[in-house]
Amino acid sequence: MIAEIGKIFVVLGASLLLLGSLLWLSAGTLRHIPLGRLPGDILVQNEYFTFYFPLTTGILLSLGLSVLLWLGKFITSR
């Protein structure tokens, strides 16, 4: 039980380290990725009202997190 929790922490830590390194090394080049302004994101603007619902962005982020969690579960189950 404790060994499995240790594996989970190692996978989470390695994932955070990798993500942090990528963000740090990118040094602003990620702002060219149109995350949040993808086709399928809903934007309704009026003179007095603005409504924004990032539908496509949310779906892509959900898929990405699902894949990461699946990989973490796959690695720790070995």
- Per residue in 8-19, pLDDT tens? 888 889 888 988
pLDDT score for 74: 82
d(Cα 56, Cα 65) in Å, to the nearest integer? 14
User: How many CA atoms lie within 13 Å of 78's alpha carbon, on the beta-carbon side?
Assistant: 6
Residue 30 has pLDDT above 70, yes or no: no
pLDDT at 37 over 90: no
Distance of alpha carbon 11 from alpha carbon 25, whole angstroms? 21
Could you tell me the residue ranges of all domains in the chain?
2-76
Q: What is the mean pLDDT of residues 42-65?
A: 92
Pairing of strands 42-45, 50-53: antiparallel
